[in-house]
Structure 1
């Protein structure tokens, strides 16, 4: 079995959005600010043009420019990972672009529409992973769920460094982590991952993508630090006051996993706007106001200035 690549980002991972201006074009200056904010807040890596970045709605040129922007703005301070996926030829093209522009790796999103057999899923991942020397992370969700045998075979490839779970099948996660142990890094990629981290963390999932880190990263950090330290009282307080109320709003509409991030960023003063591309829809006024109330209360009780990153 291949040895684990040690260049995998650890901790809370930053997934910037794709800001759009009034003309529906990508606002690269707003993207720069989004990335700078995540770096300032000590997020462990930047994952650009992934799910939160409306990967499915980007043109080739926009994808290229977003990756280029991320690599330039990070300047090597943290690793940069990209989203690749969809049909196999598109994914291979995006992997090549990511390599050419100096990204550190990529997250492989599901193929378009088709539900393949395990051999087909294996070939999809294998083809993309072997196409470059970059770190690769497989993403368990939707129509791309690999079983234990398939993941074990893929772990023979040295480029594969991690697995992100967006499925929530804990039986499978136990099997994977028990069988593969430290060969792969394990990422919690469930929507609003803070909700499920107490179940994932004991299995070895010590890394996760945080949607709320785009607008209240100090609370993401306070939550995760409290979880690691076993401070149940603080974890429960954050659940009651911040995390679960936001999660309830997120569940109101399909697509809010993306658009609610932009709403939160606008509420705290980050210049990304609320424009999204179909089929994602913007946050409705009622839900926006509910989110604003939650964030303002959270900032009042947990001021960002008192929970600065080290």
Structure 2
């Protein structure tokens, strides 16, 4: 159902994109939704569970290397795609995708469904997002040159959107943890609703800027194939790394699901800060498409491994 909702959201954005004052309202609502999302992430993570997960430092090292080293190396290794296969803007989007941190909620959910190490997934996915506040702008500036704005101001703005709500959630946890546990299903809908709003705002901006008219159906099909291959490579390499490094099955599952994801909830607002809304509109196309592919593929994997 969530995949269908994402597709429907894209369709609504294509037919009825937010323009003018409506775009301003959508942008403000998206910023509020992102803050609320990270507040809930912070409030849900019990300090004891986080501490138990934090002790698996070898596992977290592998996840971070996959997220911020393996992905960028694969994107740079596909440099030959720039021009003959992908437009320069789409290739830059592929590089930007490669430096975005992992997801939080879906990494944890898929790890739990597949019988993985959930406390380690909680810490690893959350730490990936916190590390991404610094690493994503730094890597984007290094790999994309002058296109990305890496400054103290941009870091402060990103931290204000992501880190401060997360910290506020941790601080509020003693008072609201029980309520969150009793309403976990409702909060799951809130998570998905925030993602849908982010997708609508991003696709609307792309429609208004004429981004989708710049991408032919053939080029879009090629991009989808490239992203599918990228995901397949990372899934295979993270599973292989887990086996070669001697991790047990539960930890290997955690490495695969936390190390192969890219967060749209984090990546889209960071792109808007670093590149500006107009430039970010086409730059985030690979990230948005990769997000859909990873949801479908990882949901299938998690169900199979869970059985």
Question: Structure 1 length normalisation: TM-score?
Answer: 0.28
| Structure possessing the higher relative contact order (Cα contacts under 8 Å, 6 or more residues apart) | 2
Flag the structure with higher strand content: 1
Which structure carries more helix by proportion? 2
